[in-house]
């Protein structure tokens, strides 16, 4: 078989393989989008804490969410570029900010939001007999947190608040930082551009609906970080 005939055979095969890989990537991305939609919409209207109800969310099935492990996110923070969201669906604060963040990303043509549900990633403490002890999971095991969570904790330490436990009139410091939810991280080429935790100061419980002004305030916070990420960086001593 001559080289010309080999090319006629190989080129269609290579084209098919590239098409198949692209198709698989699209399917995987779409699966993440649908998974995120189901994860958050599954709690719509259900009972939450002390008679409160979870906010009703309507999330597009073509949202830009991509699930990542804590170790994968650590690699992005150290070496990559992207926007990372750490939270979980039962948090009223997360349910408040998710629609705002998704709106900002869509309006600014951001096609990827890296996401980790951190509900079962973190360590957890409580106060018993005046002392800090590990909380227990539903199997009675100490909730000590994952290795990946503590890696993220180290990378984000300068941007995080102390982990404080309060019971009645007693307040104890765990002597470590805490990734409270929601936390959104903006990273460019291995540099943290900014980190925003919670929503806005005027939101008290997380269950109340944002006013138009509050929505715009939170939207502006996220958009400012995106604009900082997209700004040109001078790598030389020459004027830009």
> Could you tell me the residue range of the domain that residue 15 belongs to?
3-119+181-230
As for how many domains the chain has, the answer is 1
In-domain check, residue 224? yes
pTM for the model = 0.84
Per residue in 176-212, pLDDT (tens digit) is 999 999 999 999 999 999 999 999 999 998 999 999 9
Would you mind telling me the total number of residues written for the chain in this entry? Answer: 240
Q: For residue 8, tell me if it sits in a domain.
A: yes
Of 153, 121, 147, 230, which is closest to residue 186 (Cα–Cα)? Answer: 230
Cα distances (Å, whole numbers) of residue 164 to 91, 155, 170, 176, 178: 18, 20, 10, 9, 9
Q: Does pLDDT of 228 surpass 70? A: yes
> Does residue 44 belong to any structural domain of this protein?
yes
Is residue 48 a part of any domain in this protein? yes
Residue 9 lies in a domain: yes
Q: What is the pLDDT of residues 6-55, one digit of tens each?
A: 555 555 555 455 554 444 444 444 799 999 999 999 999 999 987 899 99
The answer to whether residue 20 sits within a structural domain is yes
- Domain at 112, CATH number: 3.40.30.10
**Any domain includes 18:** yes
For residue 157, tell me if it sits in a domain.
no
Question: Which has the minimum average pLDDT: 5-14, 54-63, 88-97?
Answer: 5-14
| Of residues 120, 164, 160, the one with CA closest to residue 144 | 120
- State the pLDDT at residue 237: 42
């Amino acid at each position: 078989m001559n080289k010309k005939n080999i090319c006629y055979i190989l080129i269609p095969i290579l084209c098919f393989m590239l098409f198949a890989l692209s198709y698989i990537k699209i399917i995987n991305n779409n699966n993440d989008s649908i998974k995120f939609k189901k994860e958050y919409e599954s709690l719509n209207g259900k009972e939450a804490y002390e008679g409160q109800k979870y906010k009703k969310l309507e999330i597009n099935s073509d949202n830009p969410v991509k699930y990542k492990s804590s170790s994968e996110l650590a690699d992005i923070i150290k070496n990559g570029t992207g926007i990372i969201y750490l939270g979980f669906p039962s948090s009223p604060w997360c349910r408040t900010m998710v629609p705002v963040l998704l709106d900002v990303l869509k309006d600014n043509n951001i096609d990827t939001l890296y996401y980790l549900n951190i509900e079962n990633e973190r360590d957890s403490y409580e106060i018993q007999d005046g002392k800090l002890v590990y909380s227990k999971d539903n199997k009675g095991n100490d909730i000590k947190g994952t290795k990946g969570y503590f890696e993220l904790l180290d990378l984000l330490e300068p941007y995080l608040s102390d982990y404080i436990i309060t019971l009645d009139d007693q307040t104890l410091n765990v002597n470590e930082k805490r990734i409270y939810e929601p936390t959104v991280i903006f990273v460019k080429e291995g540099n943290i551009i900014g980190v925003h935790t919670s929503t806005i100061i005027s939101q008290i419980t997380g269950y109340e609906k944002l006013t138009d002004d509050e929505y715009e305030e939170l939207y502006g916070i996220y958009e400012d970080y995106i604009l900082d990420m997209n700004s040109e960086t001078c790598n030389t001593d020459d004027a830009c």
